Amino acid sequence: MTATSDVPDADRLARVALSCAVEPGDLVTSRLVADVGPRKALESQLEPKARSSLHERLREVDPERQLELAARAGIRFLVPGDPEWPRGLDDLDHVEPARTGDDGESPCFGGTPPGLWVRGPLALTDLTGSVAVVGSRAASVYGVEVTRGICGQLALARRPVVSGGARGIDFVAHDATLRSGGVSVAVLACGVDQVYPEHNRPLLAHLAAEHAVVSEQPPGSRPTRLRFLARNRLIAAMTRGTVLVEAALRSGALNTVRWADQLSRPVMCVPGPVTSYTSAGAHLWLRGGGAILVTGGADVLEVVGRPGEHLVEPPRGPERPRDGLRGVERTVLEQVPAGEAVDADAIARRSLVHVRDTVRALERLHHKGYVTRVVGGWRLAPGAG
Amino acid sequence: MTATSDVPDADRLARVALSCAVEPGDLVTSRLVADVGPRKALESQLEPKARSSLHERLREVDPERQLELAARAGIRFLVPGDPEWPRGLDDLDHVEPARTGDDGESPCFGGTPPGLWVRGPLALTDLTGSVAVVGSRAASVYGVEVTRGICGQLALARRPVVSGGARGIDFVAHDATLRSGGVSVAVLACGVDQVYPEHNRPLLAHLAAEHAVVSEQPPGSRPTRLRFLARNRLIAAMTRGTVLVEAALRSGALNTVRWADQLSRPVMCVPGPVTSYTSAGAHLWLRGGGAILVTGGADVLEVVGRPGEHLVEPPRGPERPRDGLRGVERTVLEQVPAGEAVDADAIARRSLVHVRDTVRALERLHHKGYVTRVVGGWRLAPGAG
């Protein structure tokens, strides 16, 4: 919308037709488009094939009318070559496809989508440096709290947050980013004019009005399980890295993480209690070694930032008074027992310090609150250990 | 006690003298012993040195009397070469020493101890394959629960659990192991005839009566901060690997973990909520990449076991009814939307299945409870997604 594109109209219209007729993640289509371009890919698929009605559906599409209807609804269609096209999506043609189920016979899906339908004023060029924050719909209070913290910090660092517009962690990721004044984009499994889930209607309306909602599905499409799965690859591909906050072992969010890993984008997982099934997916990835443990927004920024941009201070515990001690005082203090008291002679013998110097050091340590004088000698003051 | 030793009496007595007069972790002593043997090491340290009273303390020790007093109290003294000597301790002469503080000027400590004082009927040879389980004194309810689970499973797998006899995670590690019928050993920072902390008197008495308590400190010694630090290296060295359950950023348990890492023993950390300061130490090690994430006893056994001995089943979520579907039913189900209903024609077009076959599949799916028939067509049944 903002910049002129050099993409020929015929290419764009062929991509509209493919986008409207082909299910997302269709590998035959994405490979044909990559090999021979969208027009020839469309032509070859218009020929009738046995046991497939794809050619009929392609013939039914009127791409110009689709574009016109979309434009009236404030929806634009982006294709590779457009200035706004998120370049990361092109990587999807170069990674292993996924399967829709755990068994070897489930269908495969993947590939770069023919185009992207976008609703909202945000130029997708602004998504450079964005971070995906995903997780379970069934989020725990803990997951919600951590998501708020991470997205608040990403917003302050002007990192757009991309998520799936679902309930649970997705909702909180968008919501917390917006509340902190950040930029957020939802990638949907349905058309960008649709609302799913109904519960998130106000959020999705706000994103469409102020930021952007994105889908490879044409307007009017409803979500299906396959479309949810296929959508996840776009979230991983459009962002600099993916943060998994909470996911049970079969959560769809793990599918997003798998795509990020395949795409060589960093996978960041938030640990949680091992007793919480909503953290089991994150622990699986952390244990497998493919993911980086993150404890908050600062850790995420360190991972996705340019080298040196967001260095995390190594975490340190609180300073202890003992830290300031040096020399004889320190040496003597090491030998003062925590339990029963001992006399200065014994402390001197242990510390290899002359008795007179030991007694002086003990008196200074007593004055500073490190040791207590009791019947029988000296012992550590409470809390000084 | 159980097997005869070939160690000359003079060597043993020299080690008793060193053990009684030298602070634990004294590197000068351990290097001398490693280089010239215990008798020459003792001789060279009996010479008066400037600003040190060590030679006086060494002269005060009567090793034969110490051994006799110890034996009367049921305490034996083990040295390298004894059949019961834990061989892992010898590795301490081959790793970098540690410092007693974070700054560069704190004193160094490390090295193999001159000997080990042991009280209890357990032969330390039985510690082959043992696991260290350590953590904060200030344990959370979560940490206690996880420690109980891990130690219960280690006990069932006949893996002895070694810990430090302290409050918090240490106490629970010993206690849970004993309650599950397992073997446990406490390595103390004081003499094995001493009780510290007082709170653990019954536990330590039980371990001394039924299993073993161990220390490099001679009987009668009181604990000091340096002795706690030095003790930690023995826990790491005597075991096959160290599990860190919970530790704040400056917990002494991190020191044990550091020793395990230096000794090339696996470091296993239990993750927890990122909002819990008692898990910050574990997350530091997991994030740094030096530790393996463990979620329970099964994970620990997989790490410390011989190859193939304890294979962990990859965790899986609950089976879903959808998993059993194949062929046309599965293909059709992928296209049934979760929200608003669509008619069979639309589902057939999307699934590329003939309308008649689609309708039949939908009816079978309806019968099996996957889809619901509503006004306007079909949609997913609640819970079938």
Q: What percent of chain B has pLDDT over 70?
A: 95
Query: Would you list the domain boundaries of chain A?
Result: 85-304, 321-380
**Residue A207: partners with Cβ closer than 8 Å, 6 or more residues away:** A120, A165, A174, A184, A185, A186, A213
Q: What percent of chain A has pLDDT over 70?
A: 95
CB contact under 8 A, B57 and A250: no
- Average pLDDT of the residues in B169-183: 97
pLDDT at A2: 44
Strand partners, A134: A244
Fold of A85-304: Rossmann fold (3.40.50)
Round to whole Å and give the CA distance between A236 and A92.
10
Q: Chain A interface, mutation test: which of B100, B350, B353, most A Cβ atoms within 10 Å?
A: B350
Can you name the CATH fold of A321-380? Arc Repressor Mutant, subunit A (1.10.10)
Query: Is residue A312 scored above 80 in pLDDT?
Result: no
Q: In whole angstroms, how large is the CA radius of gyration of chain B? A: 30
Q: How far is A44 from chain B (nearest CA, A)?
A: 17
Whole-angstrom distance, CA of residue B19 vs CA of residue B331: 75
Mean pLDDT, to the nearest integer, of B143-155?
A: 97
Q: In chain A, which residues have their Cβ closer than 8 Å to the Cβ of B49? A: none
Q: Which helix (H) or strand (E) holds A254?
A: helix A252-262
Hey, of A224, A285, A325, which one would you mutate to test binding to chain B, going by the most B CBs within 10 A of its CB?
A224
pLDDT of residue B2 exceeding 70, the answer is: no
- Between 1.10.1200.10, 3.40.50.450, 3.30.2310.20, 3.40.50.920, what CATH number should domain B9-304 receive? 3.40.50.450
- What average pLDDT score do residues A137-153 get? 96
H or E, element range at A30:
helix A27-46
Cβ of B287 and A274 within 8 Å?
A: no
Nearest chain A CA: its distance from B240 CA (Å):
19
The nearest alpha carbon in chain A to B349 belongs to A53
Average pLDDT of the residues in A321-325: 69
Reply yes or no on whether the pLDDT at A3 is more than 70.
no
Of the pLDDT bands very low, low, confident and very high (cuts 50, 70, 90), residue A335 is confident
pLDDT digit string, tens, across residues B248-296:
998 889 999 999 999 999 999 999 999 999 999 999 999 987 899 999 9
Q: Which helix (H) or strand (E) holds A49?
A: none
Three-class DSSP category at A313:
coil
Give the C-alpha separation, B236 to B232, whole Å.
7
Dihedral of alpha carbons B21, B22, B28, B32, sign: positive
Distance CA B112, CA B110 (A): 7
Separation in Å, CA of A10 to nearest CA in chain B: 25
pLDDT of residue A375: 81
Q: Which of B249, B250, B317 is facing A250, going by the closest CB pair?
A: B317
Interface size between A and B, measured as CB pairs under 8 A: 165
Q: Pick from B249, B275, B350: which is nearest to A145 by CB?
A: B275
Q: What is the pLDDT of residue B385?
A: 47
**B146, B224, B352: residue with CB nearest A335:** B224
**3-state SS string over A146-212?**
HHHHHHHHHHHCCCCEEECCCCCHHHHHHHHHHHCCCCEEEECCCCCCCCCCHHHHHHHHHHHHHCE
* 8-state DSSP, B58: H
The average pLDDT across A262-287 equals 96
Q: Is the CB of B101 less than 8 angstroms away from the CB of A323?
A: yes
| Chain B residue whose CA is closest to A199 | B339
Kindly report, residue by residue over B77-97, the tens digit of the pLDDT. Answer: 999 999 999 999 999 999 988
Of A224, A249, A337, Cβ closest to residue B223: A337
CB contact under 8 A, A274 and B146: yes
Res B301 pLDDT > 90: yes
Q: Which of A93-102, B37-46, B116-125 has the lowest mean pLDDT?
A: A93-102
Of A9, A137, A172, A29, nearest in space to A77 by CA:
A9
**ipTM confidence score:** 0.79
Of A28-37, A226-235, B102-111, B218-227, the least confident: B102-111
Nearest CA in chain A to B107: A331
Tens digits of residue pLDDT in A192-210: 999 999 999 999 999 999 9
Which residues of chain A are within 8 Å of residue B146 when distances are taken between CB atoms?
Answer: 274-275
Under 8 Å between Cβ of A229 and A255: yes
pLDDT of residue A319: 64
Tens digits of per-residue pLDDT, A286-304? Answer: 998 789 999 999 999 999 9
pLDDT tens for B18-61 read: 999 999 999 999 999 999 999 999 999 988 875 577 888 899 99
Reported as half-sphere exposure (CB side, CA atoms, 13 A), residue B306 has a value of: 3
Sheet arrangement for strand B161-163? B75-78, B116-119, B212-215, B184-187, B161-163, B131-134, B241-244, B267-269, B292-293
A226 to chain B, closest Cα gap in Å: 6
B2 Cα to chain A: minimum distance (Å): 34
Q: Which amino acid would we find at residue B102?
A: D
- Could you tell me how many residues make up chain B? 385
Tell me the helices (H) and strands (E) count for chain B, helix number first: 14, 13
- Predicted local confidence at residue B380, as pLDDT: 85
Using a CB-CB distance cutoff of 8 angstroms, which residues of chain A are in contact with residue B322? 101
β-pair partners for A109: A98
| pLDDT the model gives residue B355 | 85
